[in-house]
Every structure is written in structure tokens, then in C-alpha cells.
Amino acid sequence: PSETQKLQDKVQLLKKEKNAVVLAHYYQEPAIKQVADFVGDSLELAKRAAQSQAEIIVFAGVHFMAETAKILNPQRKVLLPDLNAGCSLADSCEPKSFKKFIQQHPEHVVVTYINCSAEIKTMSDFVCTSSNAEKVINSIPMDKEIIFAPDKNLGDYLIQKTGREMLLWDGSCMVHEAFSIDKLLDLHKKYPSARIIAHPESERHILRAASYIGSTSGLIQHIAESDWNTFIVATEAGILYDMQKHFPDKTIIPAPAKENNSCACSECAYMKMNSLEKLYSCLKHETPEIILEQDIMKKAALPINRMLELSN
């Protein structure tokens, strides 16, 4: 067996020994997804974490996702293979500035995308993901004004979809802002029968070129249900592995990034800070662990649970 295979076997053994589960985000590398008990997007992973009976949850994803897992199931030990696996979008919403912003608009209902820190969640009325953002916004009475943070691209898309005016925080995801519209249109000329599909964290000009816009699991679902054969996918490139695995007969092409990098597509460097080696080591030594103050967990759980109640 290969080195990877040997390490994967060791992870599987440790999981049994320690009654641990590995929850992995779609953007993780294949070697990690192969040892995961569950692979999903942020909403699916949050639900899984909330229900988990395991003693240890190894969260192969980024920091805010592991925090969400801890908040929803505080009795479990939640481990993150690399504590530096952050998120440019979550980082774009710093708690002190955000507090000031919402204090300037005290009558507004505060809706935050799940890609933010636990502290931001404590200041929120509702949390949402891209799968349920419309539902969450539509549940807010029409006479209420809304603040939406931190993603301005998703916010802009939701304003168009729901027809609700919202005050937007000026944050964004570097991975979803990396797509080049010129290269994308060129690529589409090469594959004229391809459908362009995109995640709503992408910029407006990219979304305008897309025939379908949806969350991570929405994009996969769309390919499953579509008669089309070829897709150009504007989101983090890790998901292409899962699409190709589920739909081996379809042609799945990553949308091109502005800057040339190793994959000519867009990858999240934070997500890729986790590796199989770090995952093994973190499970073995039970560190690094996500530790949060009780008070923060209690307060942050409220807006997340409001979202979960709405999306059930």
C-alpha cells in the first residue's frame, strides 16, 4: 500500500479506538475526504455535528466551521487539524467594527452568513448558509430592516432574489472573487454546449453568466438533475472531485481564475492547510482543540438554531 493508504488505515484505527468521527468539507483534499465519515457543505456539516454521538469530532474544514460544530454540540471534543485554517470572508468581519456598525442601526435585524467567527454570531439574530439564506430572509417581517454580513456578493445576490433592501457589510471570499470573466467567456466559447454554474459568493458579472446559481450542495444536486452533459463550475475547485466521482459520465470543468496558479482554477488555501498528516496527528494527540467560552457558545447557538429550525 502507498504511504497515503497506510496513514489512512492508521486514521481509521484511531477513529474506532477513540470513538471519533471525521467530518470533512467538500473543499478538503481527496486523501482526507476518503477517511471522512461524512463529506458535506457547511449546512450539512453543522447538522451532522449537532447530532453526533461520538466522543471526538475531527473537523476537516476551516476554523469557523469547527467553532459552529462546538457550539452545536459542546459536550464533544472538537479538533481542527490546523488552527490557522481560517477564512478570508470571516476575517473581513472584525467583531469591534461590526459591533459599531450594528449599533449605528439598532432597529435592524442582523443576519449573518455562517462564514463568520463565533463572536460575530453572538451579535446576530439569524445565521444562514447559502442553502437557506432566502428562507431566512423571507421569514423576517416585511416592516423590518435587515443588515446582512459579511459577504457582499451573496448579499447583493439575495437582494435581487428576495427584493428586500439590505444593508451590506463589505466582506468577500478571495476564492470566489478570483474568477476571470474574460477567461470564463473564452472557455465557454470552447465548450459552447457547457452550462456555467456558480456559487453566489462569486461576483455579479460571474453570476450573470451562469445558468444556475446555488449553494455547494445545490450545485451538485443541479448536475444530478440536469440532462446537460458538460458544466463549467465557478466555486472552489475541491468540489469537482466529488462531482466527478458522483457523475463519471459528465464533463466537469473548473472556472478559470484571473491569476495562473497550480490548478488554473480557484482553490481555498485555508482549507488546504489541513492535510492527512495533520489530521492523523491531531486525532492521535487530541490537539489542536476548539475551546470557546460558555457564554459565547450559549449566545452564538441561538441564531444558528433559529436557522436550523427554519431549514428542517
Min CB(211)–ligand CIZ separation in Å: 19
Considering only residues 26 through 65, tell me which ones interact with ligand SF4, judged by CB under 6 A.
Answer: 62
- Residue where the block lists cell 470571516: 90
| Comparison of 41 and 267: residue with beta carbon closer to ligand CIZ | 41
Min CB(113)–ligand CIZ separation in Å: 9
Our finding on whether 216 is near ligand CIZ (CB under 6 A) is yes
* Helix ranges restricted to H, 26-122: 30-33, 42-51, 63-72, 88-91, 95-103, 118-122
Our finding on whether 130 is near ligand SF4 (CB under 6 A) is no
Size of site (CB under 6 A) for ligand CIZ? 10
- Fill in the amino acid letter for 167: L
Min CB(88)–ligand SF4 separation in Å: 4
Closest listed residue to residue 114, CA positions, set 42, 198, 39: 42
Our finding on whether 172 is near ligand CIZ (CB under 6 A) is no
Our finding on whether 232 is near ligand SF4 (CB under 6 A) is no
Size of site (CB under 6 A) for ligand SF4? 12
- Residue where the block lists cell 471570499: 173
- Can you tell me which of 7, 22, 28, 41 binds ligand CIZ, judged by CB under 6 A? 41
What is the side-by-side strand order in the sheet with 212-213? 212-213, 195-198, 230-234, 251-254
Contact 203, 225 (CB under 8 A): no
| Comparison of 62 and 71: residue with beta carbon closer to ligand SF4 | 62
Our finding on whether 173 is near ligand SF4 (CB under 6 A) is yes
* Helix ranges restricted to H, the chain: 3-18, 30-33, 42-51, 63-72, 88-91, 95-103, 118-122, 133-138, 152-162, 181-190, 204-209, 216-225, 239-246, 276-285, 294-311
- Can you tell me which of 28, 68, 92, 129 binds ligand CIZ, judged by CB under 6 A? 129
CA atoms within 13 A on the CB side of 130: 24
- Can you tell me which of 88, 122, 130, 153 binds ligand CIZ, judged by CB under 6 A? 130
- Can you tell me which of 101, 148, 179, 270 binds ligand SF4, judged by CB under 6 A? 270
Which residues are annotated binding-site positions for [4Fe-4S] cluster? Answer: 87, 173, 268
